[in-house]
Chains A and B, each alone.
Chain A
Amino acid sequence: MMLFKLSFRNLKKSFKDYTIYFLTLVLGVAIFYVFNALDSQGVMQSVSASTREIIQLMLAMLAGVSVFVSVILGFLIVYANNFLIRRRKKEFGVYLTLGMSRGAISRILLGETVLIGLISLGVGIVIGVFASQLMSILVARMFEADMSAYTFTFSPQAAGKTVVYFGIMYLLVILFNAAAISRYKLLDLLTAGRKNEKVRMKNPVVSGVLFVISLGVLGYCYLSVLGLLGTLNRNRTLLLIFLGSAATFLFFWSLSGILLRVVQARRGFYLKDLNLFVFRQMNSRVNTMVFSMTVICLMLFMTIGVLSCGVSVNQSMTAEFEAMTPRDVCMTKGMEEDERQSFEDAGKGIEEYLLGKGLALGEVLQEGYTEVTSYVLPGLTRESTLTLGASKEQVMEQFPMLDWSQREEFVPLSAYNRMAECFGIPTYELGEDEYLLLCTFDPMKVIRDTALRAGASLTIGGRQYVPRFEESQDGYLSMNSSRSLLGLYVLPDSAFEDGEFVPYCNYLAGDYEADSEEVREVFEARIADATKRTPIYAFSKIALRESSIGIGAIMTFIALYLGVIFLISSAAVLALKELSEASDNRDRYRILRELGADQGMVRGALFRQIGIFFLLPLLLAFVHAVFGVQFVNRMLVILNGGSQLGAILFTAGFIALIYGGYFWATYVGSRRIVEE
């Protein structure tokens, strides 16, 4: 009991040191709960069956991410705890000299950890429960669920999972503490407060050279990431990540060596107010801070990258959607014999085939549904068309996985126009010896267009066709949730008369003969039933929308989850370091006051010092992110990010809130320590 009292008093006494640690724990617990409790939200129950499937997928992914997150949080907690324990060496020394056994000290620490653990879990889960109610609004908006189904929910499963995961982390902390206590020597403990500070100066020439090198390497990485220095494959990307990290470390290391020199050279600035104190102070620590600043910078980089990409993916997916899905349902069916269908079935159109399966399309679809056939020309493959404009190597660089033997697809002009009318998209006209090319996938469009601009002609059945336009056009035969048509040729009807072409694929599109959501769902189910295990693929607007929203939402949630965790981890580590620094520096600030420095001056010095340490990694991370995000955009180009401004603003606001909050808490805490 006595020991427990001591633990409790210790906590109260060192509350200032522990505030940030405690807040971080509470935040960690709350976030963990929120993301694991997503499924129990009332609004989640009100969505359709296929959305529920997507939500299941999202939960499975979030569960996986949770394991990763708990590892990060575990490291953070063990690190922060070790850090705080080290600061209390002297206290333990006093206990030992008073005759307390190491076991008893371990028990004091055990008591403290249990106390902190219980309080943080309790407070964190309570906050998490309320935060997850807010989250349900976000969830409802993303999945377009019915908000009227909202009820206040508590997920015992998520709470249990949170308790188990954090219980394991606290257990680790307890083990680490016990190990640390048994290792310390009494003399070291008692003299822990006194240490001879030696100021190591780095060789400015070496630092300068390394600084230039680090900038060079970073520049190289940035340019490579932009794709200006050749293509990126997996190994090259890994190499760039390694180089970038190393250069980041080198940057901070060498910066610490030259920053002071540069400032010192500007005497007017250096000798003004407390500037010389601030920069000396930084210089004395940046040596020991280099490694953590590097890690924090990279973590922030990931935060910015993950957040802005996750958010922009969701935005671009929902923005494009309406234009790409004008009809309720769309079907495609291969017209060639393969393992899925016999020769006889292959010859049937979609309507005919479904009639054979007992589904008359006229019963479910409104008048005006359209079916058209596309053709291929044996021997006319991508290999022969794509190389008209660019060399095969150039194309390979862009699309290493491209299937070169894929045959090009052709559609007669009248058939295309019928389909385009059905979709309500532009129709085209062609001269007798002209062709046009449809392509909506931007990187492929670039390659296709070079051939078109060069006027590359096609020779079919002895006749030559020249391109009508210098650019490939917009259009499609089948709905899709994104712009991903790789290429489709439209030829005058006369080109198909001589019989060289063979039918390749049938397309059908139309609206349900329904005026209510319920009937629509019934028809949707009938078509899904009839096309199951057939060569027909059916895409409904509803299903496309749900999967599109679903992918966007999954990305956004995972991005939010990881982003928050990375952010609070790095901010917490910085904050703890700065706070302990403040108590080490108490004497120095006292001397400043004795010399007659005004309170404003002293606070300004403290503010600048902490500010620089928070800002420096953030700035570099931001520069990294500017280039890194472009790379991700190129990778995810299929998603066609439209305006990214929203995503960037969101990310900036988010980081300003959390990181800025930690900065402010650190500044206020340090001020209190220094002015004691």
Chain B
Amino acid sequence: MSVILNVSNIEKYYGSKGSITKAIDNISFQVESGEFVGIMGASGSGKTTLLNCISTIDRVTSGEIKVGGKDITKLRGNALNKFRREELGFVFQDFHLLDTLTVYENIALALSIRHVAPGKIEKRIRETAARLGISGILNKYPYQISGGEKQRTASARAIIGDPKLILADEPTGALDSRASRMLLKCFEEMNGKLGATILMVTHDAFTASYASRILFIKDGGIFSEIRRGNEDRKSFFGQIIDVVTLLGGDLNDAV
């Protein structure tokens, strides 16, 4: 297995002289190709900052982030945009779908931004939509479909460009439990059958239990790390709860 994401010694400071807040305090970890990694932590622990730094929406103060061997902290301007559209896929808590476009067009946009030939777009969308169970709603507008369907549309948009890494920020945050479960099944499918590497930030233990490895973040640093190995999801969920308890109940809202 090759290393897709290599985060080494990154730090992120906010504020200026006199009052400095360390949002990320020397974090290092690696993600291998085909992994499904969850990042858990309480609000304010720095997990969203970490994700933003990896997704190049935010910049680190020091340290390196390598994606596929390329140091992305050195990228600027359009090279950054190119990296973002070619190597990354995004799933956001509030979907970030364009309300003026149909589901089909929302997915197509991700490809046309990548300058994919229009002739190839149609086939790829049909395939991906079938895998994620949204074939029936391709001609609907976002306001006509449910939250779960919106999130699956967003997932389809994230994966269709064959990115090295899919970044998901609280993907189930705006969904009810049934829609959450369906979405996570989709993620499992994307991870298992399509071989996508997923990095998912969440504070929900149930959501996290779908991942194969979980990093716990506390006060800007990695607190601990657990792997699912060959356990089933239920006992992995128990393990997660144990760590959350150990964290001092900071994640009270986790269950």
List the interface of chain A (C-beta within 8 A of B).
196-199, 267-277, 280-281, 283-284, 588, 591-601
Knowing that A267-B118, A594-B96 are A-B contacts, what are 20 other residue pairs whose CB atoms are under 8 Å apart, sorted by A's residue number?
Answer: A196-B143, A197-B99, A269-B118, A271-B121, A272-B118, A273-B112, A274-B112, A276-B108, A276-B109, A276-B112, A277-B98, A277-B100, A283-B100, A284-B100, A592-B113, A594-B90, A596-B84, A596-B85, A596-B113, A598-B81
User: Is B77 an interface position by the 8 A CB rule?
Assistant: yes
Q: Chain B contacts of A593 at CB under 8 A?
A: 81
- B119 and A268 form a contact (CB under 8 A): yes
Q: Chain A contacts of B96 at CB under 8 A?
A: 591, 594
- A597 and B85 form a contact (CB under 8 A): yes
Q: Which residue of A lies closest to B118 (CB)?
A: A271
- A599 and B113 form a contact (CB under 8 A): no
- B143 and A197 form a contact (CB under 8 A): yes
Q: Chain B contacts of A270 at CB under 8 A?
A: 118
Q: Chain B contacts of A595 at CB under 8 A?
A: 84-85, 90, 109-110, 113, 157
Q: How far is the CA of A588 from the CA of B142 in the complex (A)?
A: 13
List the interface of chain B (C-beta within 8 A of A).
57, 77-78, 81-86, 88, 90, 96-101, 105, 108-115, 118-119, 121-122, 141, 143, 157
Q: How far is the CB of A355 from chain B (nearest CB, A)?
A: 88
- B82 and A596 form a contact (CB under 8 A): yes
Q: Chain B contacts of A274 at CB under 8 A?
A: 109, 112-113
- B115 and A199 form a contact (CB under 8 A): no
Q: Which residue of A lies closest to B77 (CB)?
A: A599
Closest 9 CB pairs of A and B: A596-B85, A596-B84, A271-B118, A284-B100, A280-B100, A268-B118, A598-B81, A591-B96, A598-B78
Q: Chain A contacts of B99 at CB under 8 A?
A: 197, 199, 588
Q: Which residue of B lies closest to A284 (CB)?
A: B100
Q: How far is the CA of A599 from the CA of B80 in the complex (A)?
A: 11
Q: Which residue of B lies closest to A197 (CB)?
A: B99
- B77 and A272 form a contact (CB under 8 A): no
Q: How far is the CB of B208 from chain A (nearest CB, A)?
A: 24
Q: Which residue of B lies closest to A600 (CB)?
A: B78
7 residue pairs A–B, Cβ–Cβ below 8 Å: A197-B100, A199-B100, A284-B100, A592-B109, A592-B113, A596-B83, A599-B78
Q: How far is the CA of A598 from the CA of B57 in the complex (A)?
A: 14
Q: Which residue of A lies closest to B114 (CB)?
A: A596
Q: Chain B contacts of A267 at CB under 8 A?
A: 118-119, 122
Q: How far is the CA of A591 from the CA of B77 in the complex (A)?
A: 17
Q: How far is the CB of B169 from chain A (nearest CB, A)?
A: 11
- B118 and A588 form a contact (CB under 8 A): no
Q: How far is the CA of A158 from the CA of B14 in the complex (A)?
A: 58
Q: How far is the CA of A274 from the CA of B57 in the complex (A)?
A: 21
- B81 and A597 form a contact (CB under 8 A): yes
Q: How far is the CB of A133 from chain B (nearest CB, A)?
A: 47
Q: A267-B118, A274-B113, A597-B85 are in contact. Are A280 and B101 (CB under 8 A)?
A: yes
Q: Chain B contacts of A597 at CB under 8 A?
A: 81, 85, 113
Q: Chain A contacts of B110 at CB under 8 A?
A: 595
Q: How far is the CB of A295 from chain B (nearest CB, A)?
A: 24
Q: How far is the CB of A47 from chain B (nearest CB, A)?
A: 61
Q: How far is the CA of A267 from the CA of B82 in the complex (A)?
A: 24
Q: How far is the CA of A598 from the CA of B82 in the complex (A)?
A: 7
- A277 and B121 form a contact (CB under 8 A): no
Q: A280-B105, A596-B82 are in contact. Are A273 and B115 (CB under 8 A)?
A: yes
- B81 and A596 form a contact (CB under 8 A): yes
Q: How far is the CB of A80 from chain B (nearest CB, A)?
A: 26
Q: Chain A contacts of B101 at CB under 8 A?
A: 276-277, 280
Q: Chain B contacts of A284 at CB under 8 A?
A: 100
Question: Which residue of the partner chain, among B77, B82, B88, B108, contacts A271 with CB atoms under 8 Å?
Answer: B108
Q: How far is the CA of A577 from the CA of B157 in the complex (A)?
A: 31
Q: How far is the CA of A591 from the CA of B97 in the complex (A)?
A: 8
Q: How far is the CB of A587 from chain B (nearest CB, A)?
A: 8
Q: How far is the CB of A45 from chain B (nearest CB, A)?
A: 61
Q: How far is the CB of B225 from chain A (nearest CB, A)?
A: 29
Q: Chain A contacts of B100 at CB under 8 A?
A: 197, 199, 277, 280-281, 283-284, 588
Q: Chain A contacts of B157 at CB under 8 A?
A: 595
Q: Chain A contacts of B85 at CB under 8 A?
A: 595-597
Q: How far is the CA of A598 from the CA of B111 in the complex (A)?
A: 14
Q: How far is the CA of A196 from the CA of B141 in the complex (A)?
A: 12
Q: How far is the CA of A469 from the CA of B147 in the complex (A)?
A: 88
Q: How far is the CA of A93 from the CA of B88 in the complex (A)?
A: 40
Q: How far is the CA of A124 from the CA of B245 in the complex (A)?
A: 69
Q: Which residue of B lies closest to A281 (CB)?
A: B100
- B143 and A198 form a contact (CB under 8 A): yes
Q: Which residue of B lies closest to A280 (CB)?
A: B100
Q: Chain A contacts of B118 at CB under 8 A?
A: 267-272
Q: Chain B contacts of A277 at CB under 8 A?
A: 98, 100-101, 109
Q: How far is the CA of A588 from the CA of B114 in the complex (A)?
A: 18
- B86 and A199 form a contact (CB under 8 A): no
- B88 and A596 form a contact (CB under 8 A): yes
Q: Chain B contacts of A601 at CB under 8 A?
A: 113
Q: How far is the CB of B183 from chain A (nearest CB, A)?
A: 19
Q: How far is the CB of A608 from chain B (nearest CB, A)?
A: 15
Question: Which residue of the partner chain, among B77, B82, B122, B141, contacts A199 with CB atoms under 8 Å?
Answer: B141
Q: Chain B contacts of A196 at CB under 8 A?
A: 143
Q: Chain A contacts of B114 at CB under 8 A?
A: 596
Q: Which residue of B lies closest to A201 (CB)?
A: B141
Q: Chain A contacts of B141 at CB under 8 A?
A: 199
Q: How far is the CA of A594 from the CA of B109 in the complex (A)?
A: 12
Q: How far is the CA of A271 from the CA of B157 in the complex (A)?
A: 15
Q: A198-B143, A281-B100, A594-B57 are in contact. Are A271 and B112 (CB under 8 A)?
A: yes
Q: Which residue of A lies closest to B116 (CB)?
A: A271
Q: How far is the CA of A599 from the CA of B84 in the complex (A)?
A: 13
Q: Chain A contacts of B113 at CB under 8 A?
A: 273-274, 592, 595-597, 601
Q: How far is the CB of A592 from chain B (nearest CB, A)?
A: 8
Question: Which residue of the partner chain, among B86, B98, B105, contacts A596 with CB atoms under 8 Å?
Answer: B86
Q: How far is the CA of A244 from the CA of B56 in the complex (A)?
A: 54
Q: How far is the CA of A273 from the CA of B111 in the complex (A)?
A: 9
Q: Chain B contacts of A275 at CB under 8 A?
A: 112
Q: Chain B contacts of A269 at CB under 8 A?
A: 118
Q: Chain B contacts of A599 at CB under 8 A?
A: 77-78, 81
- Which residue among A269, A271, A283, A599 has the maximum number of chain B CB atoms within 10 Å of its CB? A271
Q: Chain A contacts of B81 at CB under 8 A?
A: 593, 596-599
Q: How far is the CA of A283 from the CA of B99 in the complex (A)?
A: 12
Q: How far is the CB of A561 from chain B (nearest CB, A)?
A: 41
Q: How far is the CB of B202 from chain A (nearest CB, A)?
A: 19
Q: How far is the CA of A600 from the CA of B82 in the complex (A)?
A: 12
Q: Chain B contacts of A276 at CB under 8 A?
A: 101, 105, 108-109, 112
Q: How far is the CB of A384 from chain B (nearest CB, A)?
A: 72
Q: How far is the CA of A591 from the CA of B101 in the complex (A)?
A: 12
Q: How far is the CA of A284 from the CA of B57 in the complex (A)?
A: 29
